[in-house]
Amino acid sequence: MQYYVAPLEGITDSIYRRLHHKYFPGADRYYTPFFSPTVHRALTPRESRELPPADQLDVTVIPQLLTKVSQDFIWMAGICKDLGYEEVNLNLGCPSGTVTAKGKGAGMLRQTDTLEEFLDAIFADSPLPVSIKTRLGFEQPEEFYQILELFNRYPVAELTVHPRIRRDFYNEPVRMAYFDYAVQNARMKLCYNGNLCTKNQLNSFSRDYPDIPAVMLGRALIADPGMLTPGGTTAHKLEGFLSELLEEYTAAFGGSRNAMFRLKENWRYLFCLFEPDEKLQKQLRKTTDVQQYKAITGQILHNLPMRQQLQPDW
């Protein structure tokens, strides 16, 4: 079984990916938060930082692209090839209203005729193999039957199925019957994504789906970053990881305050790995002072017991 790290906007940036691999090795691939290429045909300074030459990386990274314009996709795939990447991933899963209103992400699943034209173009001219991350559909899960039939017409490098529809966002239960349909009918390599939050759940999935070669982990791996690492997540390693993240974000953002706010996004999930302490959680949420942030997180890491396994609250 291979393990992929899902892209989470505002969390799994290039600094996070590099340091996660340093402190908690075990993932086989990291997917970038999506790039949105435009007609301007130029990477922003931030995008350039987030997409360094592949030979500078210690891990396999797959750039994810979000666009409904085939020419923009093909241009960005060419940039990725020039930088040494070996695959690009098409985002057909983002449920954000600001994204889907523009007909991108999961919004592309609304009109299969338009999606077909887009896929015809990118699979004809993409300079790199294309994998896809998809939801089941936009309004109804039954849309997946037609969507999968469409995907089967193309040389999709790998299909990651998140078995929810757009309006489920990330809150409704996953619809495993439709993933089973993919197992039976997909003509390409499959990867599963959705609500695998503990090592026990990973093992159960592996037993139930022995022929599925890969799973993609998102929020659970932010909450329990050592889930895939021998020895798991320890308070000592977590402290080193978070300390170096703060240091590097401070340098990258030009100040510790913005770095602290970035790390507070991580703590929204990390709290699920510790025995609850509402007072410390509230203090951490409210603080805007870096020194206070360090004191509060130090109390959590040194004094709060870690749970034997993650107990997600999402």
pLDDT at 78: 98
* Same domain membership, residue 188 and residue 290: no
Whether the Cβ atoms of residue 61 and residue 30 lie closer than 8 Å to each other: yes
Which of 133, 168, 195 terminates a domain? The answer is: 195
What pLDDT, on a 0 to 100 scale, did the predictor assign at position 87?
98
Same-domain status, 37 and 110: yes
189 and 247 part of one domain: no
| Regions of the chain where pLDDT drops below 70 | none
Q: How many domains does the chain have?
A: 2
Q: What is the pLDDT of residue 40?
A: 87
Residue 273 backbone phi and psi in degrees, to 5: -95, -5
The predicted pLDDT at position 205 comes to 98
Give the tokens for residue 20. 């996660």
On whether both 244 and 121 belong to a single domain, the answer is no
Residue finishing a domain among 165, 195, 225 = 195
Question: Could you give the angle at the alpha carbon of 29 between the alpha carbons of 194 and 217, nearest 5°?
Answer: 20
For residue 143, the enclosing domain spans: 32-195
Residue 201 inside a domain? The answer is: no
Strand blocks (E) in 151-209: 159-165, 190-193
Q: What is the pLDDT of residue 182?
A: 98
pLDDT computed for residue 39 by the predictor: 87
Q: Is residue 22 part of a domain?
A: no
Angle between helices 290-303 and 256-270 (to 10 degrees): 30
pLDDT number for residue 192: 98
Q: Is residue 23 part of a domain?
A: no
Per the domain annotation, does 44 fall within a domain? yes
Are 60 and 127 members of one domain? Answer: yes
Q: Are strands 61-62 and 2-5 parallel, antiparallel or unpaired?
A: unpaired
Same structural domain, 94 and 188? yes
Give the per-residue pLDDT at 295.
98
Same domain, 75 and 168: yes
- Please write the tens of the pLDDT for every residue from 185-209: 999 999 999 999 999 999 999 999 9
Cα–Cα distance for residue pair 41/50, rounded to 1 Å = 16
Report the C-alpha gap between 272 and 295 in whole angstroms: 19
Task: Say whether both 274 and 155 belong to one domain.
Answer: no
End-to-end CA distance of the chain: 25
Q: Is residue 153 part of a domain?
A: yes
Same domain? For 89 and 188 the reply is yes
CATH code of 43's domain = 3.20.20.70
> How would you label 104-114 residue by residue, b for 16+ Cβ within 10 Å and e otherwise?
bbbbbbeebee
In a domain, 180, yes or no: yes
136, 168, 195 — which closes off a domain? 195
Amino acid in position 279: K
Write out the E strands in the chain. Answer: 2-5, 29-31, 61-62, 64-65, 88-92, 130-137, 159-165, 190-193, 214-217
CA distance 264 to 261: 5
Q: Are 122 and 270 members of one domain?
A: no
Q: Give a yes or no: residue 5 inside a domain.
A: no
189, part of any domain: yes
Indicate if 144 and 286 belong to the same structural domain: no
β-strand pairing of 130-137 with 64-65: unpaired
Q: How far apart are CA 144 and CA 86, in angstroms?
A: 28
Structure tokens at 167: 């309006």
d(CA 146, CA 153): 11
For the segment 85-117, what is each residue's pLDDT rounded down to a tens digit?
Answer: 999 999 999 999 999 999 999 999 999 999 999
- How far is the C-alpha of 107 from the C-alpha of 247, rounded, in Å? 38
Q: With contact defined as beta carbons under 8 Å apart, do 4 and 214 qualify?
A: yes
Are the CB atoms for 280 and 304 separated by under 8 Å?
A: yes
> Based on the domain organization, do 163 and 271 belong to the same domain?
no
159-165, strands of its sheet edge to edge: 61-62, 29-31, 2-5, 214-217, 190-193, 159-165, 130-137, 88-92, 64-65
List the one residue out of 132, 160, 8 whose CA is nearest residue 73.
132
